[in-house]
C-alpha cells in the first residue's frame, strides 16, 4: 500500500497519540507521580505500582522506576515470586533488572524518570524513558543512601 506524505503524517500522529495514552488505556496515569516517601523503600526489593505504569526496584543504594509494560506488544507485566517479571499476554519473561530471558519480546525493559522532591518523596515521570544503555544517566535512578 502506497501512502501519501499527508497520510503518513496523519498515521504517525495517531500512533504517537496512542503510545502516549498507553498508561491511561491500562488504568495507569501517564505521569506516574508521587510514589511516596523515600523511607517507604528502605529494603531491597520490588515495589508494585503497576496500576500507575511502573515498578520501583531498590537494589543496594539505588532506586529505579522500571516500566510495567512489555516491550513486545505493550501489555502490562506482572511480578513473579522470585522478583522477575512475566507478560501474561504472550509469555515474555524478564529478569528483575529488566533483561529479556524468554521471548517473544526482543528488547529489555526500559526505565522511567525518577527523582526526589524537597519533602523526600519519590517522583516518577513515565513520560521520560531511559533505554538500557542510558541507565547511568542522571534521572534514571536515585541514590537512597
Assigned C-alpha cell, 143: 541514590
pLDDT of residue 78: 87
What pLDDT score does 66 carry? 95
pLDDT of residue 3: 63
What pLDDT is stored for residue 26 in this prediction?
35
Task: For 124, list phi and psi in degrees, rounded to 5.
Answer: -120, 135
Report helix, strand or coil for 37. strand
> Would you give per-residue pLDDT tens digits along the chain (145 residues)?
666 666 556 555 555 544 444 443 333 344 579 999 999 999 999 999 999 999 999 999 999 999 999 999 888 998 988 889 999 989 999 998 899 999 999 999 999 999 999 999 999 999 999 999 999 999 999 999 7
Cell readout for 113 is 524518570
Residue 114 — φ and ψ, nearest 5°?
-140, 140
Which three-class secondary structure state does DSSP give residue 5? Answer: helix
Q: Where are the beta strands (DSSP E) in 22-134?
A: 33-37, 45-49, 54-59, 62-67, 77-79, 85-87, 93-94, 100-102, 111-116, 121-130
For position 124, what pLDDT does the model report? 97
State the Cα–Cα distance between residues 120 and 22, nearest whole angstrom.
29
Predicted pLDDT of residue 28: 36
Amino acid at each position: 500500500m502506497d501512502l501519501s506524505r499527508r497520510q503518513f503524517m496523519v498515521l504517525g500522529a495517531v500512533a504517537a497519540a496512542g503510545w502516549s495514552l498507553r498508561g491511561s488505556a491500562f488504568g495507569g496515569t501517564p505521569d506516574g507521580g508521587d510514589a511516596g516517601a523515600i523511607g517507604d523503600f528502605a529494603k531491597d526489593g520490588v515495589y508494585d505500582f503497576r496500576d500507575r505504569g511502573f515498578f520501583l526496584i531498590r537494589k543496594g543504594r539505588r532506586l529505579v522506576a522500571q516500566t510495567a509494560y512489555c516491550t513486545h506488544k505493550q501489555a502490562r507485566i506482572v511480578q513473579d515470586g522470585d522478583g522477575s517479571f512475566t507478560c501474561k499476554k504472550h509469555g515474555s519473561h524478564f529478569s528483575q533488572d529488566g533483561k529479556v530471558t524468554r521471548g517473544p519480546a526482543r528488547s529489555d525493559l526500559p526505565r522511567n524518570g525518577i527523582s526526589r522532591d524537597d519533602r523526600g518523596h519519590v517522583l516518577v515521570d513515565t513520560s521520560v524513558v531511559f533505554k538500557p544503555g542510558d541507565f547511568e544517566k542522571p534521572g534514571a535512578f536515585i541514590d537512597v543512601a
